[in-house]
Amino acid sequence: MTDLDGTDAELLALAHAIAEPDHPTKRAMADWAAVSLSHHDLVAADLESTFAPDDWARCAEHGVFGLAVPTELGGQGADLATVLLSLEGLGVGCRDNGLTFAICSQLLSSQEALVKFGTSEQQQRWLRPLIEGTALSAFALTEPEIGSDAFNLSTRAERRSDGSFVLNGHKAYITFGSRCDVVIVFASTNPAAGQWGLSAFLVPTDLDGVERLANKDKMGMRTTPFSDIVLSDVVVPESSLLGREGAGASIFNAIIQVERAFVFASQIGSMERQLSESLDYARTRIQGGQPIGAHQAVAHRLVDMKQQHETARLFLYRAAMSKTQGKDFALTSALAKLVGSETGLSSSLSSAMIHGAKGYVTEFEVERNVRDAVGGLVYSGTSDIQRNIIARHLGVG
Q: pLDDT at position 2, please?
A: 46
DSSP, residue by residue, 303-336: HHHHHHHHHHHHHHHHHHHHHHTT---HHHHHHH
Average pLDDT, the chain: 95
- pLDDT of amino acid 348: 98
Quick one: 306 and 212 in the same domain? no
Report the domain count for the chain: 3
Q: Cα angle at 259 between 256 and 263, to 5 degrees?
A: 155
Nearest of 260, 262, 281 to residue 359 by alpha carbon = 281
Q: What is the DSSP string of 225-286?
A: -EEEEEEEEEEE-GGGEESSTT-HHHHHHHHHHHHHHHTTHHHHHHHHHHHHHHHHHHHH-E
SS3 384: helix
Spatial distance between the Cα atoms of 127 and 69, rounded to a whole number of angstroms: 8
CATH of the domain at 152: 2.40.110.10
Q: Which of 140-149, 208-217, 265-274, 323-332 has the lowest mean pLDDT?
A: 140-149
20 has catalytic annotation: no
List Cα–Cα distances, 180 to 87, 130, 349, 363, in angstroms: 22, 10, 33, 31
Residues 118 and 186 in one domain: no
Looking at residue 267, its amino acid is Q
Q: What is the pLDDT of residue 150?
A: 67
d(C-alpha 305, C-alpha 349), whole Å = 10
Query: Among candidates 60, 180, 182, 183, which has minimal Cα distance to 131?
Result: 60
Domain with 350 in it: 251-393
What b/e string do you get for 324-361 counting C-beta neighbours within 10 Å, with b at 16 or more?
beeeebbbbbbbbbbbbbbbbbebbbbbbebbeeebee
**Is 359 a member of any domain?**
yes
In terms of domains, do 122 and 42 share one? Answer: yes
Whether residue 1 has pLDDT greater than 50? no
- The phi, psi pair for 356, rounded to 5°, reads 60, -135
Instruction: State whether 329 and 239 are in the same domain.
Output: no
> pLDDT-derived band of residue 56, with 50, 70 and 90 as boundaries?
very high
Percent of the chain with pLDDT over 90: 93
Is 325 found in the same domain as 235? no
**Sign of the dihedral through C-alpha 88, 114, 166, 148:** negative
Residue 397 has pLDDT above 80, yes or no: no
Give the domain CATH number at 83: 1.10.540.10
- Asked if the structure places residue 290 within a domain, the reply is yes
**In the predicted structure, residue 369 carries a pLDDT above the cut 90:** yes
Does some domain include residue 189? yes
Instruction: Indicate if 65 and 85 belong to the same structural domain.
Output: yes
Q: Is the pLDDT of residue 310 over 60?
A: yes
Are residues 353 and 317 both part of a single domain?
yes
In a domain, 262, yes or no: yes
DSSP three-state, residue 103: helix
Does 368 map to a domain?
yes
Domain stops at, among 246, 274, 293: 246
Across 150-154, 160-164, 284-288, least confident range: 150-154
- Residue 296 sits in a domain whose CATH number is 1.20.140.10
Contact by Cβ (8 Å): 173, 141:
no
Q: Please indicate, yes or no, whether residues 372 and 270 belong to a single structural domain of this protein.
A: yes
Q: Name 253's Cβ contacts closer than 8 Å, sequence gap at least 6.
A: none
Domain identity same for 236 and 256:
no
Residue 289 CB burial class (10 angstroms; 0-12, 13-18, ≥19)? exposed
Cα distances (Å, whole numbers) of residue 84 to 30, 87, 103: 12, 5, 12
- Strand-pairing partners, residue 200, are 186, 242
Check 112, 143, 259, 367 and give the catalytic one. 259
Question: Is there a domain that residue 309 lies in?
Answer: yes
Q: Cα separation of 76 and 64, whole Å?
A: 9
Residues 261 and 380 in one domain: yes
- SS3 string of 35-48? HHCCCCCHHHHHHC
Q: Are residues 36 and 146 in the same domain?
A: no
Least confident of 112-116, 146-150, 260-264, 316-320: 146-150
CA–CA distance, 299 with 157 (Å, rounded to integer) = 57
261/363 same-domain check: yes
pLDDT per residue as tens digits for the range 91-113: 999 999 999 999 999 999 999 99
The residue from 93, 109, 136 where one domain ends is: 136
Beta bridge partners of 236: 165
The Cα 185–Cα 83 span in angstroms is 26
Q: In this structure, is residue 1 part of a structural domain?
A: no
How much is the pLDDT for 6? 78
Element (H, E) at 127: helix 120-132
pLDDT band, residue 146 (cuts 50/70/90): confident
Domain-located, residue 277: yes
- Choosing from 136, 170, 191, the residue where a domain stops is 136
Mean pLDDT for 295-324 is: 97
Longest dimension (CA), the chain: 81
